[in-house]
Amino acid sequence: MSPTRDPLGRPVVAVTGIGLATPLGFGVAESWAGLLAGRSGIRRITRFPTEHLKTAIAGQMDLPEEAGRGPFSSPERVERMAAMTTEEALTMAGLGGRTGFPGPLFLGMPPVEVEWPQRLDLARKIDREGALRYADLVSAAEGREELFEGFLFGGVAARLADRFGTRGAPISISTACATGASSIQLGVEAIQRGETEAALCIGAEGSVQPEALIRFSLLSALSTRNEDPARASRPFDKTRDGFVMSEGAATLVLESLESACARGARVLGLVLGCGERADSFHRTRSNPDGGAIIGAMRAAIEDAGLEPGQIDYVNAHGTGTPENDKMETLGMRAVFGDAPPPISSNKSMIGHSLSAAGAIEAVFSLLTIRDQRLPPTINHETPDPAIPLDVVPNVARDAKVQRVLSNSFGFGGQNVCLVLGAAP
């Protein structure tokens, strides 16, 4: 019988269900197979015209039910993908069903706003001479309850909570690129506090639309290698030129180990620790001393009751921006010294799924432990002498992996790291 309390006396948190939707495929099996094969899910954007855009590639996810109609809005895409991965995770966990899910919902998702198709739809209804004013749009929107419920910030989570019968008030969280990891952290804390025996944690992203793409472009954050999409996302490579926006979702069913064992559930792995640290340096850059990144990595390892030397592999934040990869390298060397464990970036294949990334990467970390196989960093063609790390270049390989550190570092200085471990 393995201990069901951690060294701090808190309930040990197990993962009993996972679900994935990534640009490599719908479902855990297809996504993971693509990742191990070193396949890229990045391609030319077909959802909308890309004239006048510096970046015309993304990890665009088309949903089957979108065929033959206009594209879904971001909240609708997020909701549908989150529902899909949650169905998969609940089936695996054998939880939910008619009585509903026995715990709260934590949803990592992007901020929501009325988008251009809706705005233009309102504008076309205005029958008035002279310059168009916002007041006219508002007047055309009055009483359109589907707009209200569709674009409320709490709307997606409320509908998912209703669908899966989760308990209490759902929490929607946004911590930029750390969002997916934050949703898991909230679930872990709720179980550790004894508020619940189970938590449903989701990260979902569906923001490949013109305005979001342009906004990131204006920050010079995106790769512009439009001619060769599969080779555009190049984390840790010397020729990296930015990240590639993508979409996707992941769901994790968390349970106290005690409760999972009591109901005879299959435990896929454990969430051993969570660490976070905010940066006060700049809106889009880390402090050059790496303090917050290092602090978050160390805090997660310490929260797991481990020493850095006990981490076997790091699932990188690894966005492929010149800045991130340099800072992450600094963090790796500071935390692990001269002999850091191997680190690879899933984003080389699936791009940066922003609000979903932390959750997707936590699932991939668990699969890495399950299969004892490290997914590669593809497009590693020109090593960067400033990055003295084993990035598992280009080809997956077998390794002995018991504990994984998964990094998530966000714009606005929000950094969250998770330590995932093998099932006892």
Partner 1 sequence: MTQPAAPEEVWITGVGLVSSLGEGAAPHLAALERPVPQPVLDEEGFAPFPIHPLPPLDLDRQIPRKGDQRQMEPWQRLGTYAAGLALDDAGARDRVSDMHLVVAAGGGERDVALDEQIAAELARMPPERAGHVLNARLAGGLRPTLFLAQLSNLLAGNISIVHGVTGSSRTFMGEEQSAAEAVRVAAARLREGRGGIALVGGAYAAGRWDMLLVYAASGGLWRGPWAPLAGRLPRGGMVTGSAGAFLVLETATHARARGARGLARIAAVASTAARRRGEDTAHAAAGRLATPLLSALRPGYAVLSGATGMPVPTAAESAFLAWLRDAGPAQGAVRFTADLIGHSVEASFPANLGLAALAIGAGRQPQALVTGFGMWRGEALALLEPVTEGAAA
Report the DSSP beta bridge partners of residue 373: 398
Which of the residues 43 through 62 are near partner 1 (CB under 8 A)? Answer: 48-54
Collapsing DSSP to helix, strand or coil, 277 comes out as strand
Question: Which stretch, 208-216, 224-232, 252-260, 264-272, contacts partner 1 (CB under 8 A)?
Answer: 208-216
Handedness of CA 359, 365, 369, 370 (dihedral sign): positive
Smallest gap from Cβ 28 to partner 1, in A, equals 27
Give yes or no: 282 in active site: no
Q: Record the tokens describing residue 126, joined without a space.
A: 């205005």
Single out the residue of 37, 63, 147, 230 in contact with partner 1 (rule: CB under 8 A): 147
Q: Record the tokens describing residue 89, joined without a space.
A: 């995770």
Q: Does 281 bind partner 1 (CB under 8 A)?
A: yes
Q: Record the tokens describing residue 189, joined without a space.
A: 């804390």
Whichever of 131 and 339 has its CB closer to partner 1, that residue is: 131
Q: Does 151 bind partner 1 (CB under 8 A)?
A: yes
Q: Does 292 bind partner 1 (CB under 8 A)?
A: yes
Q: Taking the mean position of all CA atoms in its chain, how far away is CA 410?
A: 11
Single out the residue of 174, 246, 365, 408 in contact with partner 1 (rule: CB under 8 A): 174
Q: Which helix (H) or strand (E) holds 108?
A: strand 105-108
Smallest gap from Cβ 262 to partner 1, in A, equals 24
Single out the residue of 29, 33, 120, 386 in contact with partner 1 (rule: CB under 8 A): 120
Question: Which stretch, 139-147, 256-264, 356-364, 385-393, contacts partner 1 (CB under 8 A)?
Answer: 139-147
Q: Does 5 bind partner 1 (CB under 8 A)?
A: no
Per the CB < 8 A criterion, the answer to whether 205 and 21 are in contact is: no
Whichever of 141 and 395 has its CB closer to partner 1, that residue is: 141
Q: Does 407 bind partner 1 (CB under 8 A)?
A: no
Which of the residues 239 through 278 are near partner 1 (CB under 8 A)? Answer: 276-278
Smallest gap from Cβ 199 to partner 1, in A, equals 13
Question: Which stretch, 78-86, 146-154, 311-319, 372-380, contacts partner 1 (CB under 8 A)?
Answer: 146-154
Question: What is the phi/psi pair of residue 227, to 5°?
Answer: -80, -20
Whichever of 4 and 217 has its CB closer to partner 1, that residue is: 217
Q: Does 71 bind partner 1 (CB under 8 A)?
A: no
Q: Does 29 bind partner 1 (CB under 8 A)?
A: no
Smallest gap from Cβ 168 to partner 1, in A, equals 5
Question: What is the phi/psi pair of residue 296, to 5°?
Answer: -70, -40
Q: Does 289 bind partner 1 (CB under 8 A)?
A: no
Give the CA distances from residue 60 to residues 47, 177, 278, 355, in Å, rounded to whole numbers and listed in that order: 8, 17, 30, 15
Give yes or no: 177 in active site: yes
Q: Give the interface size with partner 1 as a residue count (CB under 8 A).
A: 85
Q: How much of the chain is in helix, strand and coil states, percent to nearest 5?
A: 35, 20, 45
Whichever of 4 and 50 has its CB closer to partner 1, that residue is: 50
Report the DSSP beta bridge partners of residue 269: 15
* Selected catalytic residue, list 177, 201, 274, 417: 177
Report the DSSP beta bridge partners of residue 249: 21, 204
Q: Record the tokens describing residue 293, joined without a space.
A: 């990144």
Give yes or no: 352 in active site: yes
CA angle 177, 27, 35 (to 5 degrees): 65
Per the CB < 8 A criterion, the answer to whether 83 and 96 are in contact is: no
